[in-house]
Structure 1
């Protein structure tokens, strides 16, 4: 990693390759895709979740609670222990597509994503905001670096939501400076994605961080 916080596309691809290597080892679903029409590539992952706010009931409880379980875990629960009320489970399953691209303008990675129900109906921006945890919402409204907007995917040419990257360098600089102080190498993609991913429901297993330490 260069001494400053900026890095080029080749470095971006290198970090992505290392990230995907570990993803394949733990079957986390990340892969690298390229377009036939251009030389640009991007890292992507698809996952399924229950729509935020889905009401579920558990035996022995009188109140309904919101589920934050990944759909794979939720649907594996025995019928006696997990019952979706008001709507069927299928109508509340949401498919999320996360894409990590390189921004030539900002010289940083950018997180694009979109979400839709299994019947193809896309989630609107208001649905995305409703799904964001309260601990992030106040910061989202005050800090422009992670404001969610809708833009055209630079490779696919399709509408995606995006976390604006204008201040990525600002919050990544302390991470890089600290790693240099303790003489520890970091995977920029791992550190960056662990910060921005949880805002939109994307969480990294701790093994990514452990792998970076082992590689060192």
Structure 2
């Protein structure tokens, strides 16, 4: 499949190309039961969607007492003096340990085409089991540390909250301002090496894990075996 280019030489994705890549992506999703669907909004507009339940370790006070002083290793501690014993008793009666327990969060991911950036955009929203939506602060807390620095200081942009332009509802979004810059060397390299490639697979493999969305390796395997033939 031929590519379009901006004036600066970076690759841009047309909406028809976007839909073709998405349909090929969903075809493999159906084969492996990965849960992606295509939602048609208007005659010529649509988007990919997937719902994913994710277990997050959250800290809750469960009344478990901490029998150790901070900085003391219990199995090697020296015998406590009478004064220290009294201090420990007070500490045990007044302090509760923070114990991690799994919290189930429902993530809803949308892959939508942006005509402004001529690139796909990853929208998502999340809520707890009781239906309470996560705030932006909580979304950031669930981003793995290895991605936070890239988001804040690197070329990936950042997580913001804005209106879903097809649904008119508030969603979180990974800002797409640098998408073309990121994807250009990938698509150029594939063209020069005459390799089959799916733009959506490559892009989502980079963006998805930032917000808890993994892309199974079989998508890339399917590409290499010619299932996503772009000729």
Aligned twin of 2:94: none
Q: Quote the Cα distance in structure 1 between the aligned partners of 2:21 and 2:13.
A: 11
| Structure 1 equivalent of residue 83 of structure 2 | none
Structure 1 window deviating more from structure 2 (1-10 vs 24-33): it is 1-10
Hey, what's the Cα distance between the residues in 1 that align with 2:51 and 2:17?
A: 24
Is 1:12–2:14 an aligned residue pair?
no
Superposition RMSD in Å: 1.9
Give, in whole Å, the separation in 2 of the partners of 1:209 and 1:8.
22
Tell me the distance in 1 between the aligned counterparts of 2:135 and 2:31.
Answer: 34
Contact 1:102–1:109 (Cα < 8 Å) also in 2:
yes
Change over 3 Å in CA distance of 1:47–1:54 after alignment to 2? farther
Alignment of 1:25-64 (within 5 A): 25-35=31-41, 39-53=44-58
- How many residue pairs align between the two structures? 184
* Contact 1:52–1:131 (Cα < 8 Å) also in 2: no
TM-score by length of 2: 0.75
Q: Tell me how far 1:191 sits from its aligned partner.
A: 0.3
Give the drift of 1:88: 6.9
Give secondary structure in 2 for the equivalent of 1:112. Answer: strand
Gaps of 5+ in 1: 56-84
Structure 2 alignment gaps of length 5 or more: 6-10, 61-97
The yes-or-no answer on 1:96 pairing with 2:107 is: yes
Q: Kindly indicate whether the alpha-carbon contact (under 8 Å) linking 1:144 and 1:164 is maintained by their aligned counterparts in 2.
A: no
When normalised by structure 1's length, the TM-score is: 0.80
Give per-residue Cα distances to partners, 1:85-144, cap 9 Å, x unaligned. Answer: 95875xx21000000000000100000000001211000111111111111111111135
Structure-1 separation of matches of 2:202 and 2:123: 17
Rounded to whole Å, the distance in 2 between the matches of 1:87 and 1:7 is 43
Residue 174 and residue 34 in structure 1: after superposition, are their counterparts in 2 closer, same or farther (change >3 A)? same
Q: How does 1:1-216 map to 2 (within 5 A)?
A: 1-3=1-3, 4=5, 5-35=11-41, 39-53=44-58, 92-143=103-154, 145-215=156-226, 216=229
| Contact persistence 1:112–1:162 (CA under 8 A) | yes
**If each structure's strand is expressed as a fraction of its own residues, which one has the higher value?**
2
* Structure 1 residue 185: Cα displacement: 2.0
